[in-house]
Amino acid sequence: MQPQVSGTEGYAAEADQLFVRYENIPPQQVHAAVLHLLPRTPARVLDIGAGTGRDAAWLAGLGHRVVAVEPTEALRIRAMRLHASPAITWIDDSLPDLAALSARGEQFDLVMLTAVLMHLDDAQRRRALPNIATQVAPRGTLIMTLRHGPIPPGRRMFEVDAAAVVAPMRQLGLDLELNRQTASVGAANQAAGVSWTTLAFARRP
């Protein structure tokens, strides 16, 4: 059995429900706040915490080549079948270290972390941010969402303030381009009172 990665608690057991929930929400709706920041021409894209592959498939469909990182086998294997595409490369890897990804020595024009960072505690987040930042190519963009609200039973989540991300990223050469509060798109999160902060950063030339 695959060892459980810290922060992924509950996801394998709920894989069936998660595929129904996530795949029924259009990615254009989830990422409405940052659509203007997406590359207009074919680009190298990294999706960290790719989950069911919904966003990776969407980005591949826009003409990009996507590396999708997902540590939960129950999600990753099924996502590979559901969204089979030669434009998507799947990697079994996880934060905070991204060891397998880093060993590839790539950088990306767009790096996405959607509903990921809240799974790391303070110490893990401090370790993770440099490993995330190094994946962003010169003039590249990093987009992430931070979750706010009650923690579902069986999940490992932490409240993350935007300032705890913005300041370290600036020191790592990534300047804040967007900081926007957004409502939840999914009905379950809306009912639970969950909201999000969407952050976008640009790598200095």
| Choice between 50 and 2, residue whose per-residue pLDDT is larger | 50
Residue located via tokens 């540590």? 71
Q: Is 116 left (phi over 0), alpha (psi -120 to 50) or beta?
A: alpha
65 phi/psi in degrees, rounded to 5: -100, 125
Distance CA 164, CA 125 (A): 9
156 pLDDT exceeds 50?
Answer: yes
Residue 93 is encoded by which pair of tokens? 């890897």
Global pTM reads 0.90
Q: What pLDDT is recorded for position 24?
A: 85
4 pLDDT exceeds 70?
Answer: no
Domains defined for the chain, CATH in brackets: 15-203 (3.40.50.150)
Q: Where are the beta strands (DSSP E) in 163-204?
A: 174-183, 195-203
Distance CA 42, CA 64 (A): 5
Q: Please say whether the beta carbons of 80 and 53 come within 8 A.
A: yes
Distance CA 200, CA 2 (A): 33
Q: Please say whether the beta carbons of 107 and 137 come within 8 A.
A: yes
Residue 5 is encoded by which pair of tokens? 């990665």
41 pLDDT exceeds 50?
Answer: yes
Q: What pLDDT is recorded for position 1?
A: 43
What confidence tens digit (pLDDT) does each residue in 107-148 have?
999 999 999 999 999 999 999 999 999 999 999 999 999 999
**Maximum distance among all Cα pairs of the chain, rounded to whole angstroms:** 44
| Confidence grade of residue 5 (pLDDT, cut at 50, 70, 90) | low
Please provide the average confidence, as pLDDT, over all residues in the chain: 90
> What residues are paired with 178 via a beta bridge?
200
Q: What pLDDT is recorded for position 185?
A: 78
| Confidence grade of residue 191 (pLDDT, cut at 50, 70, 90) | low
* Average pLDDT rounded to a whole number, residues 153-164: 90
| Choice between 18 and 180, residue whose per-residue pLDDT is larger | 180
Q: What pLDDT is recorded for position 16?
A: 67
Q: Please say whether the beta carbons of 81 and 75 come within 8 A.
A: no
